[in-house]
Structure 1
Amino acid sequence: MLKQLTAWLLIFSVLTVNYSRLFVYVGFKMNQSYIAAKLCENRDKPFLHCNGKCYLMKKIKQAEDKQNNAESQAQKNLFQDVYFVNNLFHNSTLWSTGIENPFPSVGNYGKQAGTFLSIFRPPQLS
């Protein structure tokens, strides 16, 4: 039961991420009379027949900006992850210029540590 609920919740969240404009529009249509009467910038000018469309355009713009910011943040996080994964293959120096690694591994204490790709040779039994 809990697994099914979690699965449906994840499916719903994945499908609704890109439909923020749809939710803004549906919310506008449901509350259009209130928005036109209280929140519209042109409520004092009824001859413009705005009926809250200015408010709708502002909310759609905010939703698009929020989505673009989330996408750019996700791209930044992806770049950072790739950098750190790529950094695992280096020793305690960056490239071969002799510059010390600004992110030394924990427990290294200034000793040159081998890479994790080096071969472990157990002691021989006599």
Structure 2
Amino acid sequence: MVVYGVAVLSACLLVGMVIGDALGAAIGVDANVGGVGFAMILLVLLTDRLRRRGRFPDVTEQGVIFWSSMYIPIVIAMASTQNVVEAVAGGPVALLAGLGALAAGAALVPVLSRIGPPTEPLPPLEAEEPKGV
């Protein structure tokens, strides 16, 4: 059922928020640190494990897919409420974390591009001609 997929997503979000709050308290920040990110990582790991064991039917996956499509707008809305100026003024930790994430992402691009067998490149897009101008 679709509702089971939503339940899996909700459970991952709750666990991620608890982890984010605990991490924030551990480093002395009065905020949730990465709760949504932890939730998404947990969701990927959990759904992959359930899928490999055959316990994640297609109908249940539809509930996860529905809310996963809402992930980017939700993260953008959450990020717009954070005070970046105060985070940077609070110390170099925010800058170091941002630079570390940037460096890790840049370093992983070649690694991720080698996953899977080589394939043919996509054909070029054809430019559409204006209609009835």
The TM-score normalised by the length of structure 2 is 0.28
Larger CA Rg, structure 1 vs 2: 1
Q: Hey, which of these two has a bigger chunk of helix by percent? A: 2
The TM-score normalised by the length of structure 1 is 0.29
